[in-house]
Structure 1
């Protein structure tokens, strides 16, 4: 199975922008989870991580997005980081026998992020998972 970025939706409500993606990943959920929920994993494809306490209410500091709290945490399934720059949510689901589907949401104020920047990040994630990292 190869990974793909199947859907990208951008919405604006006043000053709030919301990006949604469906990303099909070439590895099972338990192999993808560390890429979304550990400092090393997030740093490898998304942003440097200065702090991440892996639990509901834990501290998180994502260098490109700000610091805040973990506002949803369901091991191997959901990691949501609410930071100064908004809210970033990763929701994993099974996708066939050996893959995972990532439902991603980024809610933020201003113009800091774009659909293209997230597509580029997801391409890095897919490449790392296809290489077996």
Structure 2
């Protein structure tokens, strides 16, 4: 199985923008989870996490995005980070066949600092990281 970015949509509601992606990853959920929920994993494809307390209500600081709190945490399934001024990032993993995972991603933010193309490039890096892992 190879990874793919199957869907990307962008919506605007006033000054709030919402990006949704469906990313198919060639590894099981337990293998992908650290890439979404650990400082080392996030740094490999997205941005350094200077602070990440892996629990509901824990502190999080994503270097290029800002600081905030972990607002959803279900180990190996859901990691959601709500950032002051940076919006909300939600990573939701699901099984995709015997060997793969599907990542349903949502980024809600104000202003126009993020783009669908930037996230596509990030997810291409995530796919490459997953394909390189055992």
TM-score (norm 2): 0.98
Cα deviation for residue 112 of structure 1 reads 0.8
2:24 — aligned with what? 24
1:130 — aligned with what? 131
TM-score (norm 1): 0.99
Map 1:108-119; keep pairs closer than 5 Å: 108-119=109-120
Query: Aligned pair count?
Result: 133
Cα deviation for residue 15 of structure 1 reads 0.3
Cα distance in 2, alignment partners of residues 30 and 49 from structure 1: 20
Matched, 1:9 2:9: yes
RMSD after superposition: 0.7
Q: Secondary structure at the match of 2:130?
A: helix
Cα distance in 2, alignment partners of residues 51 and 112 from structure 1: 22
Q: Secondary structure at the match of 1:27?
A: coil
Cα distance in 1, alignment partners of residues 114 and 69 from structure 2: 20
Cα deviation for residue 132 of structure 1 reads 1.2
Cα distance in 2, alignment partners of residues 34 and 45 from structure 1: 11
Cα deviation for residue 64 of structure 1 reads 1.1
Misfit runs of 4+, over 6 Å: none
Matched, 1:67 2:67: yes
Cα distance in 1, alignment partners of residues 87 and 61 from structure 2: 12
Structure 2: unaligned runs, 5 residues or longer: none
Cα distance in 2, alignment partners of residues 101 and 27 from structure 1: 9
2:91 — aligned with what? 90
1:77 — aligned with what? 77
Structure 1: unaligned runs, 5 residues or longer: none
